[in-house]
Structure 1
Amino acid sequence: MNLLALLDLASVFVFALTGALVASRQQLDIVGFIFIACLTAMGGGTARDVLLQRDEVFWIANPIYVAVAGTAAVLVFFTAHKLESRMRTIIWLDALAVAIAVPVGVGVARSLGAEWPVLLMMGMVTACLGGLARDVVCNEVPLILKARDLYATAALAGAAANILVYEVVASRPFAALAAGLVTFGLRAGSISLGWRAPGYRHEPPRS
């Protein structure tokens, strides 16, 4: 199994944990846990593969991803009550999952010969859409839309770091590492230190 596949499995597992934790906040049954976990874990990658017109969507080509997401859901179903703060755990696990997913999205697009604007978009799509779907379906305020938190911005910066490092050293592992570190670093700074992106400020039209 290559690096890209390992990272994809890791992002699926961690995203599935967040999905199941959100399901626990909604007090869903075990089937609901598994559904939300799979939606979260595979939503971004599914959108990526459809947009890139891959031969098969990744989890259809290899159902091990469904098994991994389901296992994470069952694990959370029996252990979520032991967590002191499920919301804080969701936020940090989500940050980790985004940091793993960004280099996966860029890597998949690169393997198909995509140009750099597509690499940027696929890094963001893979990292952000699953969590957005999770929060919308569970009637939670999407993490990506909370205030001006560095979320999509962190994913974009991570994808850009991947592209730049790959151009310099032509090493996919180093590029993936750079993407993960930049994404997680910005997201962690936003969570812990209150880093924010500049927001739109409305000014009344001049008379």
Structure 2
Amino acid sequence: MFETVTTLLDWLGIVVFAVTGALVASRKQMDIVGFAMLGTATGIGGGTLRDVLLGLPVFWVHEPAYLATCVVVAGVAFFTAHIPHSRYKALLWLDAIGLALFAVTGAEKAVLAGANGIVAVAMGVVTATFGGIIRDLLGGEIPVILRREIYVTAALIGAVTFVVLMAFGASRELSTAAGFIIALLVRAAALQRGWSLPRYRPRPGQGDN
């Protein structure tokens, strides 16, 4: 039963991220091919890099339905992207959901592949963020990881929560739910309150006095 739930979460994350890619394409007034390209790159980009780094078969190569879904979702968005009152706001919140989903499903796939905890956390972060980076670069946007609000940190916290709970013997159901909820709450709070980590501030070096 839980295998079905995690598979559904993975599919949901791909659909959500594909939508965010399509919304960026709409903001840039791209044609339908541009929609498909950004939707696909965003939906499967993080998972592709994760599988390559783990030495696993790339998931969408063996299950082309993932690729087809991204294309279909982007195609639907081409005709409906004008509906949201604020596409940028919708983009940010959908991206937050995708981030939280992929942080835990990416970490879980690494754990199931036999990776240690540190690697699993890294794979959760990669899965959650790499698709968004590709989306923003292709769409000519400032990459979301370079914006002030906490982003990568939210994925990191979600992945760490999942891995730590699993290490202490918690069920996969509890670990997945907790990791997702915490990652989403952190990212949501960052969006609402403008949270950011302390930044480096230049200061005189020893030879500058």
TM-score in terms of structure 1 length: 0.95
What one-letter code is carried by the residue in structure 2 that aligns with 1:113? G
1:3 and 2:5 aligned: yes
Give, in angstroms, the shift of residue 41 of structure 1.
Answer: 0.4
1:113 corresponding residue in structure 2: 114
Structure 2 residues without counterparts, runs of 5 or longer? none
Q: Distance in 1 between matches of 2:18 and 2:112?
A: 25
1:89 corresponding residue in structure 2: 90
Give, in angstroms, the shift of residue 70 of structure 1.
Answer: 1.5
1:126 and 2:124 aligned: no
What's the RMSD between the two structures over aligned residues? 1.1
Give, in angstroms, the shift of residue 170 of structure 1.
Answer: 3.2
1:182 corresponding residue in structure 2: 182
Q: Distance in 2 between matches of 1:59 and 1:136?
A: 22
1:197 corresponding residue in structure 2: 197
1:36 to 17, 35, 38: 38
Give, in angstroms, the shift of residue 143 of structure 1.
Answer: 1.3
Matches within 5 A, 1:56-75: 56-75=57-76
Contact kept, 8 Å, 1:4 with 1:107, in 2: the verdict is: no
**Percent of matched pairs sharing the same residue:** 42
Structure 1, 170-179 or 102-111: larger mean CA deviation: 170-179
TM-score in terms of structure 2 length: 0.95
Give, in angstroms, the shift of residue 113 of structure 1.
Answer: 0.6
What one-letter code is carried by the residue in structure 1 that aligns with 2:78? F
What one-letter code is carried by the residue in structure 2 that aligns with 1:189? A
What one-letter code is carried by the residue in structure 2 that aligns with 1:19? G
What one-letter code is carried by the residue in structure 1 that aligns with 2:59? F
Q: Distance in 2 between matches of 1:143 and 1:86?
A: 15
1:161 and 2:161 aligned: yes
Contact kept, 8 Å, 1:135 with 1:142, in 2: the verdict is: yes
1:14 corresponding residue in structure 2: 16
Q: Distance in 2 between matches of 1:79 and 1:36?
A: 16
Q: Secondary structure at the match of 1:201?
A: coil
